[in-house]
């Protein structure tokens, strides 16, 4: 880029956190406009990444910068300072390279850089180096401040655990945690149920049925009317070390590690966990036993994904909840495979459901043509391949829904609303008739009478 040939430019501004000493997005853009006006350049676009860290997010991963690269017709990108674009040298060089490929260049209002000469490019790289050093210094100061707050027993910010609240520190500056009278009782009951052997799903259902207050969210819910607890939230509560009065501390945990180690906590010089008895609702030993109980369960919802024992895919995205009109999820309850509705939480056991559906498929549809053969012959040919079996089943099903039943009852085939595709017949050639009310096929009685 030759700076004397620039006619049209775009502006780019970025800010990670708004602070009193920060140069706001508006000020960055205003400085860029004045810079362009003084040189007679036409500003044809302004692109912003607000609330985006340059240390964590590469330029190409930011929405504002990606939109800038997708635009056409500019000769230069005006930024306020080099560190507004990147805090790492490698990120800066990649961003500059992307602009060079399209014949555009960088201009900084506060940093006198000229990317048209080797000397100017070298100076720009030096500025990027200093920006990276500054970012590392900021991280070091943040870590040190966090360690100091934790050592003093103060709340370091972030999400407030369920059952607790943040208050002004009565013994000095900052804030501390204390038990929340409105929610701590619900937390105790959830822990007690888990200690008694209840599954995470069962606890979530119980909290929903009892209208327990939900955790306070920073962001508004997508569906404000949905007051149901979910399994993930309950498991997070049961794995939080604050239950035993400990403070979570994971300074070395990678971002990709979504599940924190419940025993990665603040420890004293001797390596023992620091425990605040005023916050604890169970002992350290009880907390350890609770974690072992959760880890020992075979249900897919209770274990890490890498450790889960998969359930049969035969009914994956094949069964709808008749009340909510959403697909039932695969899961396990008390080590038994189930299907459950993510909205109303109804469940149905698969130990009896799967054989029931297979028996009806082979009895009622076995003679139907499928893949150059019949359903029965094809079923026998695929053997125990569950995904191939699923394909055969879905090729014959027009609708498969489960309606709610009486809690605690054994398998009830009246909950299964099954409708075959046109052409369904029994082996003796008698056609199956569906009820008009609920579009389900019912089983014939012993005298082969159709209940219509």
Q: What is the mean pLDDT of residues 150-157?
A: 64
What does the domain layout of the chain look like in residue ranges?
Answer: 3-138, 164-303, 313-420
> Does residue 15 carry a pLDDT above 80?
yes
Please name the residues in contact with 271: beta carbons below 8 A apart, sequence gap of 6 or more: none
pLDDT surpassing 50 at residue 177: yes
For residues 89 and 301, give the distance between their C-alpha atoms in angstroms, rounded to a whole number: 42
Q: Identify the pLDDT of residue 238.
A: 93
User: pLDDT tens digits, residue range 341-355?
Assistant: 988 878 899 999 999
For the stretch 226-255, pLDDT in tens is: 678 888 889 889 999 989 988 877 544 444
Parallel/antiparallel/unpaired status of strands 369-370 and 347-349: unpaired
Inform me whether the pLDDT recorded for 374 exceeds 60: yes
State the CB neighbour count (10 A cutoff) for residue 167: 12
**CATH annotation of 164-303:** 3.90.1750
Written as six digits, the tokens of 222 are 């997508």
E strand or H helix at 85: helix 82-85
**Which tens digit of pLDDT belongs to each residue from 72-105?**
899 889 999 888 888 777 888 888 888 888 888 8
Residue 170's pLDDT band, with cuts at 50, 70 and 90, is confident
pLDDT of residue 13: 93
Tens digits of residue pLDDT in 259-299 = 557 777 777 778 888 888 888 999 999 999 999 888 876 44
Task: Tell me the average pLDDT of the chain.
Answer: 78
Note the CATH number of domain 3-138. 3.40.50.1390
The residues, any chain, with a CB within 8 Å of residue 75's CB and separated by 6 or more, are: 1, 5, 6, 7, 8, 9, 103, 104, 105
Going edge to edge, which strands form the sheet with 8-15? 42-50, 8-15, 76-79, 105-108
Structure-block tokens of residue 393? 């089943």
Confidence (pLDDT) at 138 = 62
* pLDDT of 433 above 50: no
Question: Which is it for strands 76-79 and 8-15: parallel, antiparallel or unpaired?
Answer: parallel
283 closest CA partner among 248, 246, 244, 247: 244
Across 91-100, 127-136, 396-405, least confident range: 127-136
Nearest CA-CA partner of 242 in 197, 273, 209? 273
**pLDDT tens digits, one per residue of 210-230:** 999 988 765 555 555 667 888
Residue 157's pLDDT is what?
61
Compute the distance between CA of residue 132 and CA of residue 41 in angstroms, rounded to an integer: 31
């Amino acid at each position: 880029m030759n700076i004397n040939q620039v006619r049209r430019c775009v502006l780019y501004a970025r800010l990670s956190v708004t602070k009193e000493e920060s140069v706001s997005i508006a000020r960055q853009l205003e400085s860029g406009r004045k810079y362009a006006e003084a040189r007679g350049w036409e500003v044809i676009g302004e692109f912003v990444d607000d609330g985006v860290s340059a240390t964590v997010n590469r330029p190409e991963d930011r929405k504002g910068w990606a939109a800038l690269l997708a635009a056409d017709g500019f000769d230069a990108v005006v930024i306020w300072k080099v560190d507004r674009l990147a805090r790492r040298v490698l990120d800066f060089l990649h961003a500059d390279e992307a602009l060079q490929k399209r014949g555009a260049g960088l201009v900084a209002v506060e940093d006198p850089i000229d990317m048209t000469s080797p000397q100017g490019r070298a100076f720009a790289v030096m500025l990027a180096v200093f920006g990276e050093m500054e970012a590392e210094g900021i991280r070091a100061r943040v870590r040190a401040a966090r360690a100091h707050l934790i050592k003093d027993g103060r709340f370091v910010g972030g999400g407030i655990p369920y059952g607790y609240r943040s208050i002004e520190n009565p013994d000095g500056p900052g804030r501390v945690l204390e038990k929340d009278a409105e929610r701590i009782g619900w937390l105790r009951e959830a822990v007690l149920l888990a200690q008694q052997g209840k599954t995470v799903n069962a606890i979530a259902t119980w909290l929903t049925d009892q209208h327990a207050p939900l955790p306070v969210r920073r962001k508004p819910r997508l569906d404000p009317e949905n007051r149901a607890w979910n399994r993930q939230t309950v498991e997070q509560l049961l794995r939080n070390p604050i239950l035993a009065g400990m403070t979570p501390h994971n300074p070395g945990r990678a971002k990709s590690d979504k599940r924190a180690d419940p025993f990665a906590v603040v420890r004293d010089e001797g390596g023992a966990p620091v425990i605040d008895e005023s916050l604890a609702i169970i002992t350290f030993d009880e907390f350890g036993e609770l974690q072992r109980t959760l880890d020992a369960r075979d249900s897919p919802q209770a274990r890490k994904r890498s450790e889960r024992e998969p359930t049969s895919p035969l009914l994956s995205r094949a069964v709808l909840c008749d009340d909510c009109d959403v697909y039932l999820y695969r899961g396990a309850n008390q080590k038994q495979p189930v299907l459950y509705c993510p909205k109303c939480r109804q469940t149905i056991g698969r130990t009896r459901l799967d054989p029931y559906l297979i028996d009806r498929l082979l009895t009622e549809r076995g003679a139907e043509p499928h893949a150059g053969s019949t359903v029965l012959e094809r079923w026998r040919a695929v053997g125990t391949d569950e995904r191939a079996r699923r394909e055969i089943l879905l090729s014959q099903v027009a609708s498969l829904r489960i309606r709610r039943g009486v809690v605690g009852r054994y398998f009830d085939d009246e909950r299964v609303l099954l409708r075959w595709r046109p052409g369904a017949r029994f082996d003796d050639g008698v056609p199956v008739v569906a009820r008009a009310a609920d579009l389900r096929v019912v089983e014939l009685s012993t005298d082969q009478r159709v209940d219509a």
